[in-house]
Chain A
């Protein structure tokens, strides 16, 4: 059974959703507090959404120095799966596990709504259950979601196929496809090895039939079928 550590920072608020989404897909989820230093033999780590440390200084800036993050960095370096959703993505960028940064939305508005996103890369532990090019409608909720990086880094991400999920024009009326002004419509990326994935959308918030859609469920289904030797890299 896949053991998934869901990290709890002061100010996290999506960790129960992530926990339940893992359990519904047959995994074993457990919370790890930010002050802990050991991931208790987790197979995978989820950095949940929320407002860790009140988003003080910059979103994710203080969480990245939490005691648990050294263990998360080792886990990532070992090639094991690490995902960050929303604030988790911000923390991954602040920690340097993923390149670039997330700035204030171009519209200055906190955006909380569904967006249409295309799954660009399916050889990661978090997207293998999707079809490449598949478009899903999934919620975002953030004020600092504008993905920003130098042109050099953006070109690198594109050329190496490291953009995992991207905002696309869809059937949503009266709303721009790109909710926050992200460079090249980037909603989520991975590291070159593919084991570290960050995205602004919230798959854990749409992972139950009761919600009218389970578009996010397969992020967790993907993780359940992840086997370390099968990890494909394009590096």
Chain B
């Protein structure tokens, strides 16, 4: 089966996120004062052939651990969508 994998990588919670702060400052300047706790991360998507949903998730987790995210500085979430 083919799955569409969505990976969301964010700066590790609790670590300084200057990009998020800068965007939050810009939103405030644009008169959106209600937006708070802004964080900037990265989204990665790809197709993956796997036997089933669980195998796809396992493979995607391995990819995150090895390359797509840095466990020292980033958190990630994976979504597996059947195609």
Partners in one complex: yes
Seen from chain A, the residues whose Cβ lies within 8 Å of a Cβ on chain B are 57-58, 61-62, 65, 93-94, 99-101, 103-108, 146, 148-150, 181
**In angstroms, how far is the closest chain A Cβ from the Cβ of B20?**
10
**Per a CB cutoff under 8 Å, which of B22, B68, B72 touches A100?**
B72
Report chain B residues within 8 Å CB of A99.
72
Q: Does B58 contact A (CB under 8 A)?
A: no
Across the interface, which residues of A come within 8 angstroms of B22, CB to CB?
108
Docked-complex contact B72 and A107, CB < 8 angstroms: no
Known: A108-B19, A108-B22, A146-B16. A103 touches B67 (CB 8 A): no
Q: In the complex the two chains form, is A106's CB within 8 Å of B16's CB? A: yes
Residues from chain A with a CB closer than 8 A to the CB of B73 are 58, 101, 103, 148
A181 touches B68 (CB 8 A): no
Give Cα A127–Cα B62 distance, bound, in whole angstroms.
Answer: 38
Q: What residues of chain B have their CB less than 8 Å away from a CB belonging to chain A? A: 11, 15-16, 18-19, 22, 67-68, 70, 72-73
Question: Which of A57, A65, A181 is in CB contact (< 8 Å) with B16?
Answer: A181
B15 surroundings in chain A (CB, below 8 A): 103, 148
- CB-CB under 8 A from A106, the residues of chain B are 16, 18
A144 to B: closest C-beta gap in Å: 10
Q: Is the CB of A57 within 8 A of B19?
A: no
User: Which residue of chain B lies nearest to A180 when distances are taken between CB atoms in the complex?
Assistant: B18
A150 to B67, CA, bound (A): 20
Interface pairs A-B: 9 shortest CB-CB: A101-B72, A101-B73, A108-B18, A103-B73, A101-B70, A106-B18, A148-B73, A108-B22, A104-B18
With contacts A65-B67, A104-B18 known, what are 11 further pairs, Cβ within 8 A? Answer: A61-B67, A61-B70, A62-B67, A93-B72, A103-B16, A104-B19, A106-B18, A108-B19, A146-B16, A148-B73, A181-B16
Which of B11, B22, B67: most chain A CB closer than 10 A?
B67
CB pair B68 A103 closer than 8 Å: no
Q: List 16 A-B contacts (CB under 8 A).
A: A58-B73, A61-B67, A61-B70, A93-B72, A100-B72, A101-B70, A101-B73, A103-B11, A103-B73, A104-B18, A106-B16, A108-B18, A108-B19, A148-B15, A148-B72, A148-B73
Contacts of A101 in B (CB 8 A): 70, 72-73
CA gap between A153 and B54 in the complex, in Å: 33
Roughly how many angstroms separate A108 CA and B19 CA in the complex, as a whole number? Answer: 7
Residue pair A149, B72 in contact (C-beta under 8 Å): yes
Closest residue on chain B to residue A59 by CB atoms: B70
Chain A: minimal CB distance from B28 (Å):
16
- Closest residue of chain B to A146 (Cβ to Cβ) is B16
Q: What residue of chain A has the Cβ atom nearest to residue B12's Cβ? A: A148
Looking at the complex, which one of B11, B18, B68, B72 makes contact with A57 (CB distance below 8 Å)? B68
A165 to B60, CA, bound (A): 38
Q: Are B72 and A58 in contact (CB under 8 A)?
A: no
| Distance between Cα atoms of A92 and B11 in the complex (Å) | 20
